[in-house]
Amino acid sequence: MVLLPSAQGSVHYYDFVLTNTNFTRLCSTKSIVTVNNSFPGPALRVQKGDTAFVNVYNQAPYGVTIHWHGIKQPRNPWSDGPEYVTQCPIPPGTNFTYEVIFSSEEGTLWWHAHSDWTRATVHGAIIILPAEGTTYPFPEPDDEKVIFFGIHAQPLQLICWVH
């Protein structure tokens, strides 16, 4: 099989700023690591065949990496993100830019920290729309909602089509 790079994909740029943030849930306030003060973190919204450059500024007090869960990234392992497998953790006070290549994926996936327990709060959705000029194999939905089910440190997410 020959994989050809998309000639039409768009390029997206995201800034992820990791900080400790005070969050209150169920009458209890805790300091957790968030991305852009958001929990869950910001969603990537791209089309099949696009590329996203995500600049991660680590202003949290822990070394961290970000993994793009389910994105194959052919010939681009250095942006896969598993800590101590394809890169060292991004030290506090520094930044690292990931080049995330969307090749054959379509639908909803997620990104998450790949460093110890930081993944419990550092995660967000990746929404991959069909390539330009193509559609999903079902009628166009009326609305979309991203829902995270936080199960220990392995949340799941899906998009609901509301009719």
Torsion over CA: 69, 74, 79, 84 (sign): positive
When asked if residue 45 is in the footprint of Cu ion (CB under 5 A), the reply is no
φ, ψ for residue 77, nearest 5 deg: -65, -20
Range in contact with Cu ion (rule: CB under 5 A) among 61-69, 78-86, 122-130, 145-153: 61-69
Q: Does 72 bind Cu ion (CB under 5 A)?
A: no
Residues in the chain, overall count: 163
Report residue 34 CA to chain centroid gap.
13
45 vs 69 by CB, closer to Cu ion: 69
In terms of CB distance, is 69 or 72 closer to Cu ion? 69
In the bound state with Cu ion, the residue whose beta carbon lies nearer, of 48 and 67, is 67
Q: Strand (E) positions, the chain?
A: 11-25, 28-35, 44-47, 51-58, 66-69, 94-101, 107-113, 123-129, 144-149, 156-161
Minimum distance between the CB of residue 82 and Cu ion, rounded to whole angstroms? 9
Q: Contact between 69 and Cu ion (CB under 5 A)?
A: yes
Determine the interface stretch with Cu ion among 5-13, 18-26, 36-44, 66-74 (rule: CB under 5 A).
66-74
Nearer to Cu ion, 131 or 159 (CB): 159
Q: For residues 92 and 88, what is the distance between their CA atoms, to the nearest angstrom? A: 12
Please report which residue ranges of the chain form alpha helices under DSSP H. none
- The residue range among 65-73, 96-104, 122-130, 155-163 that interacts with Cu ion, by the rule CB under 5 A, is 65-73
50 versus 83: smaller Cβ distance to Cu ion: 83
Where do contacts with Cu ion occur on this chain (CB under 5 A)? 69
